[in-house]
């Protein structure tokens, strides 16, 4: 029997991060794995929970609590039934344990912090698909994370229209 793994999934509620979540559920997650849905709020976000957990990120929140609209409001997150449905399906069909964690700050730095703090075996994230010029000017979160994370990182590209 293989050891259960801890898989982080970066979630910003974009179509590509949802595609990454779907991809992980269909191709990576196996029975007994632990999924940590990692959300990074902008540093200027001002929510009550940020004051409590800004330095270390929120506590790990079980899927049952994460599913509640009140949780999203407390942390200033997008309430997205599609994401909850995907997580419910993966939890039910694969027997994966699902928790969520919220950080505040630069997504590049906070995703690396998450990999280290949560001792992730791998991280899955979507790609925004920036063009070459925008990538140079704005920087690419996925490029930064792939280069600096101490674990394997899978970047899932969105489909082209």
Residue-wise pLDDT for 85-115, tens only, equals 999 999 999 999 999 999 988 999 999 999 9
Q: How confident is the model at residue 136 (pLDDT cuts 50, 70, 90)?
A: very low
Flag whether pLDDT at 133 surpasses 90: no
Q: How confident is the model at residue 129 (pLDDT cuts 50, 70, 90)?
A: low
Residue-wise pLDDT for 74-85, tens only, equals 777 778 999 999
Percent of the chain residues past pLDDT 70, beyond the cut: 84
Distance between CA atoms of 43 and 54, rounded to whole angstroms? Answer: 9
Count CA within 13 A, CB hemisphere, residue 90: 29
Flag whether pLDDT at 52 surpasses 60: no
Q: In terms of Cα–Cα distance, which of 131, 103, 148 is closest to 10?
A: 103
pLDDT of residue 2: 75
Flag whether pLDDT at 11 surpasses 70: yes
pLDDT of residue 134: 45
Q: Which residue has the higher pLDDT, 44 or 67?
A: 67
Distance between CA atoms of 10 and 40, rounded to whole angstroms? Answer: 8
Q: Where are the chain's structural domains? A: 6-156
Q: How confident is the model over 67-77, as a mean pLDDT?
A: 76
Q: In terms of Cα–Cα distance, which of 72, 64, 7, 18 is closest to 45?
A: 72
Q: How confident is the model over 7-33, as a mean pLDDT?
A: 94
Flag whether pLDDT at 124 surpasses 60: yes
* DSSP character at residue 3: P
What CATH number was assigned to the domain covering residues 6-156?
A: 3.40.50.620
Joined together, the tokens standing for residue 40 give 């990074």
Flag whether pLDDT at 73 surpasses 60: yes
Helices (H), 28-122: 48-53, 63-66, 69-75, 81-94, 107-117
Helices (H), the chain: 15-27, 48-53, 63-66, 69-75, 81-94, 107-117, 132-138, 141-148
* Burial zone of 70 (CB within 10 Å; 0-12 exposed, 13-18 middle, 19+ buried): exposed
């Amino acid at each position: 029997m293989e050891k259960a793994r801890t898989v982080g999934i970066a979630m910003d509620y974009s179509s590509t991060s949802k595609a990454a979540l779907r991809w992980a559920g269909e191709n990576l997650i196996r029975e007994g794995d632990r999924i940590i849905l990692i959300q990074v709020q902008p540093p200027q976000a001002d929510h009550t929970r940020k004051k409590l957990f800004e330095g270390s990120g929120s506590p790990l929140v079980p899927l049952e609590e994460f599913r509640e609209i009140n949780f999203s409001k407390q942390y200033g997150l997008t309430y997205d039934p599609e994401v909850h449905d995907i997580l419910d399906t993966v939890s039910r069909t694969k027997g994966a344990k699902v928790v969520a964690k919220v950080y505040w700050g630069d997504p590049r730095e906070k995703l690396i912090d998450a990999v280290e703090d949560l001792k992730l075996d791998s991280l899955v994230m979507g790609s925004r698909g920036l063009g070459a010029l925008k990538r140079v000017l704005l920087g690419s979160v996925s490029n930064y994370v792939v280069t600096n994370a101490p674990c394997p990182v899978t970047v899932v590209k969105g489909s082209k229209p």
